[in-house]
Amino acid sequence: MKSAVLLTILTLASLQASATKPSLTSHPSHQAFFDALTALCGQAFTGKVVADTTNSDTFKNKSLVMHVSKCDDKQINIPFHVGEDHSRTWIITRTGSGLRLKHDHRHEDGSEDPLTMYGGVTTEPGFNQVQAFPADAYTKWMFAEKGLPQSIHNIWKMFVYPDIFSYQLVREGREFRVDFDLTKPTETPPAAWGAE
């Protein structure tokens, strides 16, 4: 009798503990996309700008390297190095209902840039190879506060195929895309600014 009561108590305690833990289960296409990025963990790849409607000098004649630097079952960090500028990191997080993309911008001393942690969340299942991240509420508020209303409707997209990874930003009148060659890993770059 005592063992049956003890078993019941232990079972209830286990169920309660599992109920308080947030689930990371999401749509199979979100998981497949996350797994494809995780498979690249520890590797770095060179890229090139293939679309930039503003013809910005920020990326011209500079080496572009993505480094899938940190991965666990919930989050992937991908620093995006632009020449000697190591200020940018893309952070993809499983939320339990989808995926979230954030842009972590840092100064060389590791302090946060005033414009940081903006991004979006998936609103659709997407595809195993392609996910879209429309700007989230915090991002829209930040862009409005910082005097960047044109960015409120940003949509970021990421594509991961066996031979190529692409990062794209689109909105009305604006497109930026950089493609990375996954067939030729390159030397690991320095740590991103502010990385622990």
Q: How does residue 13 score in pLDDT terms, banded at 50, 70 and 90?
A: very low
Contact 65, 51 (CB under 8 A): no
pLDDT tens digits for range 170-194: 999 999 999 999 999 999 999 999 9
Checking if the pLDDT of 148 tops 50, the result is yes
The CA distance from 41 to 183, in Å, is 14
Give the pLDDT confidence score for residue 26 in this predicted structure: 75
pTM: 0.87
pLDDT of residue 23: 61
- 15 has a pLDDT exceeding 90: no
Report the share of the chain in percent with pLDDT over 70: 87
22 pLDDT more than 70: no
Tokens, residue 34: 């996350």
pLDDT of residue 25: 66
Domains of the chain in start order, with CATH, are 26-186 (2.40.128.20)
Asked whether the predicted pLDDT for residue 70 surpasses 80, the reply is: yes
Reported residue count of the chain is 196
Question: What is the SS3 assignment for the chain?
Answer: CHHHHHHHHHHHHHHHHHHHCCCCCCCHHHHHHHHHHHCCCCCEEEEEEEEECCCCCCCCCCCEEEECCEECCCEEEEEEEECCEEEEEEEEEECCCCEEEEEEEECCCCCECCCCCEEEECCCCCCCCEEEEEECHHHHHHHHHCCCHHHCCCEEEEEECCCEEEEEEEECCEEEEEEEEEEEEECCCCCCCCCC
Give the whole-angstrom CA distance, residue 106 versus residue 85.
Answer: 10
In the predicted structure, residue 2 carries a pLDDT above the cut 70: no
Give 104-139 pLDDT, tens digit per residue. 999 999 999 999 999 999 999 999 999 999 999 999
Question: Are the beta carbons of 160 and 68 closer than 8 angstroms?
Answer: no
pLDDT of residue 7: 41
**Is the sign of the CA dihedral 187, 188, 190, 192 positive or negative?**
positive
Is the pLDDT at 20 greater than 60? The verdict is: no
